[in-house]
Structure 1
Amino acid sequence: MGVKFNPDADLDTSGVEDTRGSGGGGSRLPGGAIPVGGGIGGIILLVIILLLNGGLPGGSGGSEEPAVRNTAAGNLDSCKKGSDLQTNSDCRFVFYQNSIQTFWAAELPRRGKKYTAAPMRVFDGSVNTGCGPATSAVGPFYCPPDQRVYLDLGFFKTLQTDLGARGGDFAEAYVVAHEYGHHIQNLYGILGRIKSRSGPTSDSVRSELQADCLAGIWTNHATTVPDKSGKPLITELSESDIADGLDAAAAVGDDRIQSKTQGQVTPESFSHGTAEQRMKWFKAGMDSGDMTRCDTWSASSL
């Protein structure tokens, strides 16, 4: 059935930058590598190496590209009402972005923290960022220096075909919410304190699991988040939708990815956590709806 979106909702595209078809302007980094620690290594699919990574720490600091807008008929700028989904199915990503940002913009001040909006840039091919150039092979990521979420919509097919996820609307929503979880971490200064980037209890793993938990926090509240006029953006999440999100979280576990790509599991190279851990922390946020339940840093058992 999929997530139920409100056809009467008013959508806000001011924080969504659709640059697909604009050429991007990014270039491959030397050797096709992306400047980030904690990857699997080798020449295995970069989308797997960097899947859902919390930005590109240690990036080359390349200048961010101008926000060139996609002028094609299916661009996200055309998503003004929920009913626009009928003619442009990609509008669901505007729903996700609006709902996630609206939630955090209310939740953080309630906890005494100012929220700073983070645009979501949709691209294809390549893109320049405040973290350096990147290609579609990187998969979704958050760049701390320019405080943007970067997303190539083609990734979600890869999530199914290469990583074995069953897909679905809420698998997509989980990915976007995870990246915005990294933005929340950045606002709290957490990403800048990451030191160890590999190992089963590394800072990188703790950061990724916390982002999963924060994605779960939004999930708990998703059907109550309103548009600017007070109408709900997402009206219903079924048990099947939630299962799709948990399935996506499991599919990007280090152990699942390593088993698929190298035939064995090497915990010393973990950077994101196991399938079980990713589901556990996503569920911890989802079940509680409480940010205090997302302290992966002091948890003795991940």
Structure 2
Amino acid sequence: MKWTNDRADNVDDRRGTGGGGGGMLVGGGLGTLIIAAIVFFLGGDPSSILSGGVENSAPTEQRQLSENELQIREFVRMLSEENNQTWEKVFAENGMQYKEPQIVLFENVTQSGCGTAQAAMGPFYCPADQKVYMDMSFFSELQQKFGAKVTEFTIAYVMAHEIGHHIQTLLGTTQQVDKLRRSGQYSEAEMNRVSVATELQADFYAGLWAKQTNNRENFLEPGDIESAMEAAAAVGDDNIQKRSAGYVNQEAFTHGSSQQRVEWFMKGYNSGDIRQGNTFDQLLRR
């Protein structure tokens, strides 16, 4: 992908500040890490797990960021601004006002409005403080453990997906899903389908962002969309379950299959129309 000249001021880089720690999940064996991966990979509401289960640890020493880390910050600032400009345009065209999220870069451990965040959880969006949390080491895990080739546009897709959850919060979708969850009227299997619909809509929004931003900036290069589709497929529930447990349990899906994630990203990209992103209508018929 081509870098643009735009940079956002809403990136909070906490790396090298000494505020992180080397803590671990309590009972943090393979089973816990699998659960964390399924729940946190590319979004969702992390509050139920973030609020507990993390040991306190001593802060890391303060250090200077490397040139590569500073370059990553600039890249994230560019992506953030391109998201902001695109979503401001989309919201304005639909008679709404956009509010940008804050992007937090951290290493190891940091605090969020949803509780303590760890790198092992992967990138996530916290509705309580409307911030996207990203430890960039996630992308090494994505490549090594889940078989996705990581490119710059892989990072762009992941970040656009997390900002997609912010769009859901601004539109009230997050609040409606939370109300359903707290009502106690739905079974675990039904709430899993709600979760799948929520995640697939964030994938749709990521695809829509790519389309609309390319219309503005012509920033896509050959292979970028394929890179996003590969990442989306890598974090499909079926792929994660096969790699972690050796079998697939569709009723336990919380993010959607690899095929579904790719399809909804491409629907967002091909349509470029926010009105086409109703994932709930197709998946939640009782």
Question: Aligned residue pairs: how many?
Answer: 267
Partner Cα separation in structure 1 for residue 211 and residue 187 of structure 2? 29
Relative contact order, higher structure (CA 8 A, sep 6+)? 1
Q: Helix, strand or coil for the counterpart of 2:133?
A: strand
The amino acid of 1:140's aligned partner reads P
Letter in 1 for 2:7: L
Kindly tell me: are residues 161 and 18 of structure 1, through their superposed partners in 2, closer, same or farther at Cα, counting changes over 3 Å?
same
1:4 paired to 2:23: no
**Structure 1 residue 125, shift from structure 2 partner:** 0.8
**In the TM superposition, what is the alpha-carbon distance from 1:269 to its structure 2 partner?**
0.9
Name the counterpart of 1:136. Answer: 119
CA contact (8 A) 2:193 2:284 kept: no
Which residue in 2 is equivalent to 1:55?
45
Deviation digits for residues 140-169 of structure 1 (CA, Å, limit 9, x no counterpart): 000001000000111111111011011211
Q: Gapped runs of 5+ residues in structure 1?
A: 34-39, 63-68, 79-87, 226-231
| Partner SS for 1:192 | helix
Contact 1:28 1:133 in 2 (8 A): no
Q: 1:187 aligns with which of 167, 170, 173?
A: 170
The whole-number CA distance in structure 2 between the counterparts of 1:269 and 1:254 is 8
1:54 Cα deviation from its structure 2 partner = 2.0
Which has a greater percent of helix? 2
Given the superposition, is the C-alpha separation of residues 31 and 154 from structure 1 closer, same or farther in structure 2, using an over 3 Å criterion? same
Whether 1:261 aligns to 2:244 is: yes
* Residue 72 (structure 1) aligns with: 65
Unaligned runs of 5+ in 2: 53-61
Q: Give the TM-score taking structure 1 as reference length.
A: 0.79
Assess if the C-alpha contact under 8 Å between 1:18 and 1:70 holds in 2: no
Q: Tell me, what secondary structure is at the counterpart of 2:268? A: helix
SS of the residue corresponding to residue 227 of structure 2 reads helix
Query: 161-170 vs 282-291, which deviates more?
Result: 161-170
- What is the alpha-carbon distance in structure 1 between the residues aligned to residue 236 and residue 28 of structure 2? 23
Taking structure 2 as the reference length, what is the TM-score of the superposition?
Answer: 0.84
- Residue in structure 1 matched with residue 235 of structure 2 by the alignment: 252
Within 2, Cα distance between the matches of 1:190 and 1:197?
19
> How far apart, in 1, do the equivalents of 2:159 and 2:38 lie?
17
Question: Within 5 A, what are the aligned runs for 1:23-102?
Answer: 23-25=18-20, 28=24, 30-32=26-28, 42-44=32-34, 46-58=36-48, 72=65, 74=67, 88-102=71-85
